[in-house]
Structure 1
Amino acid sequence: MLENTLPQLEQLIEDIIKKNNQLKSQVAELEQQKSALIDENEILQLEALDGEEKQKQTNTVLTSLLGKLQSVEDSAEVN
Protein backbone atom coordinates (compact mmCIF):
# COMPACT_ATOMS: atom_id res chain seq x y z
CA MET A 1 0.00 0.00 0.00
CA LEU A 2 2.81 2.41 0.86
CA GLU A 3 4.39 1.71 -2.54
CA ASN A 4 1.23 2.98 -4.26
CA THR A 5 0.51 5.82 -1.88
CA LEU A 6 3.89 7.50 -2.10
CA PRO A 7 3.89 7.94 -5.93
CA GLN A 8 0.29 9.15 -5.76
CA LEU A 9 1.25 11.65 -3.08
CA GLU A 10 4.22 12.82 -5.12
CA GLN A 11 2.00 13.28 -8.18
CA LEU A 12 -0.57 15.22 -6.17
CA ILE A 13 2.14 17.47 -4.76
CA GLU A 14 3.51 18.10 -8.27
CA ASP A 15 -0.01 18.88 -9.50
CA ILE A 16 -0.58 21.29 -6.61
CA ILE A 17 2.74 23.04 -7.24
CA LYS A 18 1.91 23.34 -10.94
CA LYS A 19 -1.56 24.72 -10.19
CA ASN A 20 -0.07 27.14 -7.63
CA ASN A 21 2.38 28.46 -10.23
CA GLN A 22 -0.45 28.89 -12.73
CA LEU A 23 -2.47 30.81 -10.15
CA LYS A 24 0.51 33.01 -9.29
CA SER A 25 0.88 33.80 -12.98
CA GLN A 26 -2.81 34.65 -13.26
CA VAL A 27 -2.60 36.89 -10.18
CA ALA A 28 0.37 38.75 -11.67
CA GLU A 29 -1.51 39.22 -14.95
CA LEU A 30 -4.62 40.44 -13.14
CA GLU A 31 -2.52 42.88 -11.10
CA GLN A 32 -1.12 44.31 -14.35
CA GLN A 33 -4.63 44.62 -15.79
CA LYS A 34 -5.82 46.28 -12.58
CA SER A 35 -2.97 48.77 -12.71
CA ALA A 36 -3.72 49.57 -16.35
CA LEU A 37 -7.42 50.04 -15.57
CA ILE A 38 -6.61 52.33 -12.63
CA ASP A 39 -4.43 54.46 -14.92
CA GLU A 40 -7.12 54.52 -17.61
CA ASN A 41 -9.74 55.48 -15.02
CA GLU A 42 -7.61 58.38 -13.77
CA ILE A 43 -7.12 59.61 -17.34
CA LEU A 44 -10.87 59.42 -18.01
CA GLN A 45 -11.63 61.30 -14.79
CA LEU A 46 -9.18 64.05 -15.74
CA GLU A 47 -10.67 64.25 -19.24
CA ALA A 48 -14.15 64.49 -17.73
CA LEU A 49 -13.06 67.31 -15.42
CA ASP A 50 -11.42 69.08 -18.34
CA GLY A 51 -14.61 68.68 -20.38
CA GLU A 52 -16.68 70.11 -17.54
CA GLU A 53 -14.33 73.08 -17.26
CA LYS A 54 -14.52 73.74 -21.00
CA GLN A 55 -18.31 73.45 -20.85
CA LYS A 56 -18.42 76.01 -18.02
CA GLN A 57 -16.18 78.37 -20.02
CA THR A 58 -18.36 77.96 -23.11
CA ASN A 59 -21.47 78.60 -21.04
CA THR A 60 -19.91 81.76 -19.61
CA VAL A 61 -19.01 83.04 -23.10
CA LEU A 62 -22.48 82.24 -24.44
CA THR A 63 -24.15 83.93 -21.47
CA SER A 64 -22.00 87.00 -22.03
CA LEU A 65 -22.81 87.08 -25.74
CA LEU A 66 -26.49 86.64 -24.99
CA GLY A 67 -26.31 89.54 -22.51
CA LYS A 68 -24.63 91.76 -25.11
CA LEU A 69 -27.21 90.81 -27.70
CA GLN A 70 -30.01 91.51 -25.24
CA SER A 71 -28.58 94.95 -24.39
CA VAL A 72 -28.23 95.82 -28.09
CA GLU A 73 -31.79 94.68 -28.68
CA ASP A 74 -33.04 96.69 -25.67
CA SER A 75 -31.27 99.83 -26.83
CA ALA A 76 -32.66 99.40 -30.33
CA GLU A 77 -36.19 99.22 -28.92
CA VAL A 78 -35.67 102.41 -26.91
CA ASN A 79 -34.63 104.35 -30.00
Structure 2
Amino acid sequence: MLENTLPQLEQLIEQIIEKNTQLKNQIAELEQQKSLLVDENEMLQLEALEGEEKQKQTSTVLANLLGKLQSVEELS
Protein backbone atom coordinates (compact mmCIF):
# COMPACT_ATOMS: atom_id res chain seq x y z
CA MET A 1 0.00 0.00 0.00
CA LEU A 2 2.82 2.40 0.85
CA GLU A 3 4.34 1.72 -2.56
CA ASN A 4 1.19 3.07 -4.24
CA THR A 5 0.54 5.88 -1.81
CA LEU A 6 3.93 7.56 -2.08
CA PRO A 7 3.87 7.96 -5.90
CA GLN A 8 0.28 9.18 -5.72
CA LEU A 9 1.27 11.69 -3.08
CA GLU A 10 4.21 12.87 -5.18
CA GLN A 11 1.94 13.26 -8.19
CA LEU A 12 -0.61 15.22 -6.19
CA ILE A 13 2.10 17.48 -4.81
CA GLU A 14 3.38 18.14 -8.33
CA GLN A 15 -0.14 18.96 -9.49
CA ILE A 16 -0.63 21.32 -6.55
CA ILE A 17 2.68 23.05 -7.29
CA GLU A 18 1.73 23.41 -10.97
CA LYS A 19 -1.69 24.77 -10.08
CA ASN A 20 -0.10 27.18 -7.61
CA THR A 21 2.24 28.44 -10.32
CA GLN A 22 -0.70 28.91 -12.71
CA LEU A 23 -2.63 30.81 -10.06
CA LYS A 24 0.36 33.05 -9.30
CA ASN A 25 0.67 33.85 -13.01
CA GLN A 26 -3.05 34.55 -13.21
CA ILE A 27 -2.82 36.85 -10.18
CA ALA A 28 0.05 38.75 -11.82
CA GLU A 29 -1.99 39.20 -15.00
CA LEU A 30 -5.03 40.36 -13.04
CA GLU A 31 -2.93 42.82 -11.05
CA GLN A 32 -1.61 44.26 -14.31
CA GLN A 33 -5.14 44.54 -15.71
CA LYS A 34 -6.29 46.17 -12.48
CA SER A 35 -3.48 48.71 -12.70
CA LEU A 36 -4.41 49.57 -16.29
CA LEU A 37 -8.08 49.91 -15.35
CA VAL A 38 -7.26 52.14 -12.37
CA ASP A 39 -5.20 54.40 -14.65
CA GLU A 40 -7.99 54.47 -17.24
CA ASN A 41 -10.56 55.24 -14.55
CA GLU A 42 -8.50 58.13 -13.22
CA MET A 43 -8.10 59.50 -16.74
CA LEU A 44 -11.84 59.27 -17.39
CA GLN A 45 -12.61 61.01 -14.10
CA LEU A 46 -10.24 63.84 -15.02
CA GLU A 47 -11.83 64.13 -18.46
CA ALA A 48 -15.27 64.27 -16.83
CA LEU A 49 -14.14 67.03 -14.47
CA GLU A 50 -12.64 68.97 -17.37
CA GLY A 51 -15.88 68.54 -19.30
CA GLU A 52 -17.89 69.84 -16.36
CA GLU A 53 -15.57 72.83 -16.04
CA LYS A 54 -15.90 73.64 -19.76
CA GLN A 55 -19.68 73.27 -19.48
CA LYS A 56 -19.73 75.74 -16.55
CA GLN A 57 -17.60 78.20 -18.51
CA THR A 58 -19.83 77.90 -21.55
CA SER A 59 -22.91 78.39 -19.40
CA THR A 60 -21.41 81.53 -17.88
CA VAL A 61 -20.51 82.95 -21.29
CA LEU A 62 -24.01 82.21 -22.60
CA ALA A 63 -25.62 83.78 -19.54
CA ASN A 64 -23.51 86.92 -20.05
CA LEU A 65 -24.43 87.09 -23.73
CA LEU A 66 -28.09 86.64 -22.87
CA GLY A 67 -27.83 89.45 -20.32
CA LYS A 68 -26.27 91.74 -22.92
CA LEU A 69 -29.00 90.89 -25.43
CA GLN A 70 -31.71 91.60 -22.87
CA SER A 71 -30.20 94.94 -21.95
CA VAL A 72 -29.96 95.91 -25.65
CA GLU A 73 -33.63 94.95 -26.14
CA GLU A 74 -34.63 97.05 -23.14
CA LEU A 75 -32.85 100.08 -24.62
CA SER A 76 -34.61 99.64 -27.97
Q: What is the alpha-carbon distance in structure 2 between the residues aligned to residue 9 and residue 20 of structure 1?
A: 16
Q: Cα distance, 1:29 vs. partner?
A: 0.3
Q: 1:4 is matched by which residue type in structure 2?
A: N
Q: Using the alignment, how far apart are the partners of 1:25 and 1:74 within structure 2?
A: 73
Q: Does 1:57 align with 2:57?
A: yes
Rounded Cα–Cα distance in structure 2 between residues aligned with 1:41 and 1:2: 57
Question: Are 2:70 and 1:70 aligned?
Answer: yes
Rounded to whole Å, the distance in 1 between the matches of 2:14 and 2:40 is 39
| Identity among equivalent pairs (%) | 80
Say what the alpha-carbon RMSD is for the aligned residues: 0.3
Distance across 1 between alignment mates of 2:73 and 2:44:
42
**Residue number in structure 2 paired with 1:2:** 2
| Pairwise CA distance, 1:58 | 0.1
Q: TM-score, normalised by structure 1?
A: 0.95
- How far apart, in 1, do the equivalents of 2:32 and 2:75 lie? 64
TM-score (norm 2): 0.99
Amino acid of the residue matched to residue 13 of structure 1?
Answer: I
* TM superposition outliers: structure 1 runs of 4+ over 4 Å: none
Shift of 1:54: 0.1
| Structure 2, gaps ≥5 residues long | none
Q: How many equivalent residue pairs?
A: 76
Ranges in structure 1 where 5+ consecutive residues have no aligned partner: none
Partner AA of 2:39 in structure 1: D
